Structure 1
Amino acid sequence: MRTHLHTDWRHIPDEARGMAAALGNFDGVHLGHAHLLHTLHAARPDLGLAVVTFEPHPRELFRPQDPPFRLTLPDERLSALSALGVRQVFQIPFDAAFSAMSAERFVTDVLHEGLGLRHLACGADFAFGHRRGGTVTFLSERAEELGLGLTVVPALADAGGPYSSTRIRRLLQDGYPERAAEELGRPWSIRGIVQHGDKRGRLLGFPTANIPLGRHLEPARGVYAVTVRLTDGRSLPGVANIGRRPTIDDGQESRLEVHLLDFDGDLYGQTLSVALHSLLREERRFAGLDALKTQIALDATAARAYLAEMLRAGI
């Protein structure tokens, strides 16, 4: 079944109303989020499964000076939620006016009247409304008054504590995409549109697709073994560099440059999803372009070997 995205909570079609919805930002859509959704579905299997989330992330509105931190932007988040069985995603535009909405109005005007929800689920630390004035206790009281069900779900945890987007960001920034994948339930991916670069990779014999990191978190800089999903659904092996290219020293911001190992074609303007599997080496400066070209060839061989081993292991 197709997952439907709604970005105007005031105009929800009748067929999307009457859902059981989980509330939250869902950045990353990790195993903790999956646990929340599975618990909600178990509580109300008779209702369609939905999510109420926000775009942009509230932190992006309140702290625009912060470095980019997002694990998933809307398209990738929607795909991940769809894979978990979510059928309706209510993506509420989070702007200054909405941030000033009281907790009372959020429950009554948005959740009850606007979206027509019948059952809610959230974590025990969920807070909402102006200055995060709405607590789970308040939500429970108002939901009961409005005839809405509520399931408060304890956080999923392991020996290291609760699963969280913050914990996954730290793993990626420390260079451990394999461990991040374990907590996400899938490899972490950067999705973006291929842009024209300086064609230097082509001159070195390794043409690359250049994708700006944009609002994505910047993981540890270096070279990664990756798989790349094309717009036609194919998934191809690749090797990617994330960083500022210190050998070339072009002074530009960090970017993702990916070389597809078994592909020859034009990708400009296409949207690719690049999944990071392993950090092969950290970013470093080389003596010149010849040394860089030699290292890129070694990186490509290492990436191919790593991905082939993944395939043999059934990962």
Structure 2
Amino acid sequence: MSQSFLRITDTQRLPDTLRGGVVAIGNFDGVHRGHQTVLDRALAEAERRGVPALVLTFDPHPRTVFRPDVPLFLLTPPPLKARLLAKLGFAAVVEQPFTREFAGLDAERFVTDILDANLGISHAVTGFDFHFGKNRQGGPAFLMEAGERHGFGVTLVDAFRDEGAEIVSSSRIRELLCEGEVAEAAGLLGYRFTVEAEVTGGKQLGRTLGFPTANMALPESTGLKHGIYAVRFRCADGTLHDGVASFGRRPTVDDNGRPLLETFLFDFSDDLYGQTCRVSLFGYLRGEVKFDGLDPLVAQMKRDEAEARALLSGVKPLSELDRRLTFAAGPA
């Protein structure tokens, strides 16, 4: 992440240098191609005005506040979302704490307190269907009228449709990932789906089998299909390595364990314990299988390695964001 990029969790603590900026407003879970149309407009408007470009988002996701009993598979938890926004060129993300008290703020106070007083925005960019304030009372027309009164401009961006004329949405992407369709999900995201977590110690069975793995515990709400994936792994020092990863419960050796992401990095032997690393998924190879012993498991792992190497040898960036995220070595 850029040294100068800021993650701000209190709108009242915005540095003076960021006041008067152009602010893209939304949840932006996934930072997918639909979101990027809004974000790109904000960046262009900020450049035109010669002011900072910021993102105002909400944490936790409003759905987890209103429906806490229904787990939500977040595509981009706040740290990863911040990395993506930094790579797109924003100066900062403001992660407004979303509570029931905040949800009860009426639309006029959202504009007056958050957008005007705390952020001092010069322009807002958001999706055409953005609603805000208690009972979603604030909508596009309200925001535009409020902008005229408070002295800031408003740009509304139409829904983005993919090549099949379908609207790109976070829910569509979640459904694809739940089915293991990572290539199709990448087409909607505009980059390869990526997870980020600390590498933890395991039973080291993979090492004894000749396939040492970097193990990561993902959030329990992760809806990614269990199975084997061709991946690219970014270490904490920014280096990139191809590999093959298993996500699931390891049915041959540990039926009842918590799902883990276990990545075997090709031609790599360094210690990664305690490092926060990222794994980007390029292809789904197969589902989980319970083998009749370790020998057939090792034989299949060798086939998985060969297939993953072949798949990864021919990949190309889907976009500039994908290139920066999963192809360009350097600062993480």
Give the TM interval when normalised to the shorter protein: over 0.9
Flag the 1:198–1:96 CA change in 2: closer, same or farther, 3 A: farther
Aligned mates of 1:114, 1:311 — CA distance in 2? 42
- Alpha-carbon shift at residue 74 of structure 1 (Å): 1.3
Identify which range, 69-78 or 284-293, moves more after superposition: 284-293
1:197 matched to 2:202? The reply is yes
Q: Secondary structure at the match of 1:157?
A: coil
Structure 2: unaligned runs, 5 residues or longer: 328-332
Flag the 1:195–1:312 CA change in 2: closer, same or farther, 3 A: closer
Q: Secondary structure at the match of 1:38?
A: helix
1:56 to 53, 57, 60: 60
2:278 to 270, 273, 277: 273
For 1:15, give the aligned amino acid: T
1:261 matched to 2:255? The reply is no
- Alpha-carbon shift at residue 36 of structure 1 (Å): 0.8
Runs of 4 or more off by more than 6 Å in structure 1?
Answer: 311-315
1:220 matched to 2:225? The reply is yes
- Alpha-carbon shift at residue 299 of structure 1 (Å): 0.9
Q: Secondary structure at the match of 1:181?
A: helix
1:134 matched to 2:138? The reply is yes
For 2:219, give the aligned amino acid: G
1:162 to 157, 160, 167: 167
Flag the 1:65–1:252 CA change in 2: closer, same or farther, 3 A: farther
* Residue number in structure 1 paired with 2:90: 86
- Alpha-carbon shift at residue 216 of structure 1 (Å): 5.8
What is the number of equivalent residue pairs in this alignment?
Answer: 315
Aligned mates of 1:181, 1:219 — CA distance in 2? 13
2:37 to 32, 35, 41: 35
Instruction: Determine if contact 2:22/2:45 at 8 Å carries over to the other structure.
Output: no
Instruction: Determine if contact 1:240/1:259 at 8 Å carries over to the other structure.
Output: yes
Aligned residue runs from structure 1 range 100-139, under 5 A: 100-139=104-143
Flag the 1:160–1:256 CA change in 2: closer, same or farther, 3 A: farther
Aligned mates of 1:79, 1:132 — CA distance in 2? 29
For 2:139, give the aligned amino acid: T
Aligned mates of 1:194, 1:61 — CA distance in 2? 29
Identity across aligned pairs (percent)?
A: 43
Flag the 1:312–1:179 CA change in 2: closer, same or farther, 3 A: closer
* Residue number in structure 1 paired with 2:12: 10
Aligned mates of 1:250, 1:100 — CA distance in 2? 45
Flag the 1:65–1:200 CA change in 2: closer, same or farther, 3 A: farther
For 1:67, give the aligned amino acid: P
* Residue number in structure 2 paired with 1:74: 78
For 1:89, give the aligned amino acid: V
- Alpha-carbon shift at residue 285 of structure 1 (Å): 1.4
For 2:100, give the aligned amino acid: A
* Residue number in structure 2 paired with 1:26: 28
Aligned mates of 1:257, 1:277 — CA distance in 2? 15
2:287 to 282, 286, 310: 282
Aligned mates of 1:18, 1:140 — CA distance in 2? 17
Instruction: Determine if contact 2:43/2:90 at 8 Å carries over to the other structure.
Output: no
- Alpha-carbon shift at residue 265 of structure 1 (Å): 1.4
Instruction: Determine if contact 2:43/2:89 at 8 Å carries over to the other structure.
Output: no
Aligned mates of 1:194, 1:130 — CA distance in 2? 41
1:187 to 189, 192, 196: 192
Aligned mates of 1:216, 1:20 — CA distance in 2? 33
Identify which range, 243-252 or 140-149, moves more after superposition: 243-252
For 2:129, give the aligned amino acid: D
- Alpha-carbon shift at residue 100 of structure 1 (Å): 2.2
Aligned mates of 1:103, 1:139 — CA distance in 2? 9
* Residue number in structure 2 paired with 1:294: 299
TM-score (norm 1): 0.94
- Alpha-carbon shift at residue 179 of structure 1 (Å): 1.6
1:231 matched to 2:257? The reply is no
Aligned mates of 2:40, 2:72 — CA distance in 1? 30
Aligned mates of 1:216, 1:88 — CA distance in 2? 27
Flag the 1:230–1:207 CA change in 2: closer, same or farther, 3 A: same
Identify which range, 218-227 or 202-211, moves more after superposition: 202-211
What is the aligned-residue RMSD (CA, Å)?
A: 2.0
Instruction: Determine if contact 1:72/1:216 at 8 Å carries over to the other structure.
Output: no
Aligned mates of 2:250, 2:232 — CA distance in 1? 21
TM-score (norm 2): 0.90
